[in-house]
Chains A and B, each alone.
Chain A
């Protein structure tokens, strides 16, 4: 049916129009974004000199790396338990808690985590103040929910008898985990890390709630600038982010294709 095909191309056009324009006009010399004033790299140069933006970006990368690592640890444990432990005591509650950040509105998660951090500081003095650490913990909580889903799904589709075969051939449960389960989980651990990393880099709501004066992330800076409208520097930054995302997704697709091929095409 060609109506559906037309709908697909229109939809893709709608999705890509603003992105394509954003990238194209990043190379415009004009001071007003989305106005063509001749080809120029001046806004990329201006971007490289914008210390506040650079500083926020570096902080965001550090927070995202830490949050993603923590998220994979927690989500990996939770996903493994859900996929391999069968019915254990409290499983329903466990599943509901790990998945809650997926379905809660960000404003609710952000507010409740902030209130927790305030209450914790009042009670035990930790975490002292709000900043990069609290943002990292909030992002790890969100990332762990996604990581658990990705890892559980991967383990659920892996034949359970693989681990049984390992034990049958003399592997203790720990050795079976190390030599069979962990290698099987590896691609999903990497995917979960990248997902949690991206979520952290992209989040403005959680960060705005739980951060403090010393913890301004890149999206927080972007948000405050966009409130005043789009500037050429932000436009140039957008082009950089689109380029990085395209390259990263392309690499991920290649990696997935290779892993798929190794597993015999699924």
Chain B
């Protein structure tokens, strides 16, 4: 019988809780074990102390839960010029990579968005195909292109532009070429999505009101695509900041970046707590751009 005093139930009656649990419980369990727990372990070990045992650290909580942790690893990351410079350089490299990707990607996305409907999907696939050909294979191709005895030096020498081979590989130039090549699709996709959504009538209206094509572009097209451009920038910047493989294979050997330092501390120095502290610091630095990116995505 109906009981008028019963409070209204927020959930729809026919979606019984047990049915939802079948879906939510395994998902929560997985996320707790493989996403939340690793983050906590990482933070815990970053607070631990380097030790020569196996595993090579002393956890922050000793027997009986006694606190024996230390902030020394974070202090080292923050104050040691070696790590500090590595962080700054990583952010600079990520910034420059993202800016270059925007510069190269914007005209591509614009031309794709303006292409006839039937040609857009093939063009989109053309931009995506390199992305699927294997990341290491593409980096390997650049090694073959940029080596001292490589294809580019060969072409330049055959054309008589240079006498001696240029030292292209293992330089900042090679690293940026490899980074832009790897991350360009990340930039083109959100730019294209933003530009393809635009209403061409808006640009026509601007032209109709007396704006020349260049003025239309600057006053209408560019501002309308700004959120897409910001998303594209961040989508490149965030992974590029922690990139390890491309600088390692193409960049100058002496250049220290966060990804490389973390890798080195872990695999060469076996200093797990310091590597963990570097990872936590990298996360802290990236929280702002990540939040910004999520805000942009939510605002679409």
Contacts and interface: CB of A to CB of B under 8 A. Distances in A.
Are chains A and B touching directly in their complex (CB below 8 angstroms)? yes
Interface of A: 1, 3-8, 11-12, 14-19, 21-22, 25, 32-35, 74, 77-78, 80-81, 85, 88, 90, 94, 97-98, 100-101, 103-109, 111-113, 115-116, 118-119, 122, 137, 140-141, 144, 167, 173-174, 198, 201-202, 204-205, 209, 219, 222-223, 226-227, 229-230, 234-235, 237-238, 241-242, 245-246, 248-249, 253
Closest 5 CB pairs of A and B: A105-B242, A7-B107, A18-B141, A8-B111, A112-B38
Contacts of A242: 133-134, 137
B207 interface: no
14 contacts: A11-B184, A14-B104, A19-B133, A34-B154, A85-B24, A109-B38, A111-B266, A111-B276, A113-B34, A116-B37, A222-B136, A223-B136, A226-B249, A227-B248
Contacts of B147: 34, 229-230
B145 A18 contact: yes
Contacts of B123: 8
A119 B41 contact: yes
B279 interface: yes
Nearest to A105: B242
B255 interface: no
Interface of B: 14-15, 19-20, 23-24, 26-28, 30-32, 34-39, 41-42, 45, 55, 104-108, 110-112, 114, 121, 123, 125-130, 132-145, 147, 149-151, 154, 180-181, 184, 188, 213, 217, 238-239, 241-245, 248-249, 258-259, 262-263, 266, 272, 275-276, 279, 282-283, 286, 290, 293
A170 to B, nearest CB: 13
Contacts of A17: 145
Contacts of A137: 34
Given A111-B42, A174-B19, A253 B125 contact: yes
B213 A1 contact: yes
Contacts of B55: 118, 122
Given A21-B145, A246-B129, A74 B35 contact: no
Contacts of A229: 143, 147
A112 B134 contact: no
A80 B136 CA distance: 34
A261 B141 CA distance: 38
B293 to A, nearest CB: 7
A179 B245 CA distance: 46
Nearest to B180: A14
A227 B136 CA distance: 11
Contact of B137 (A1, A167, A238): A238
B27 A81 contact: yes
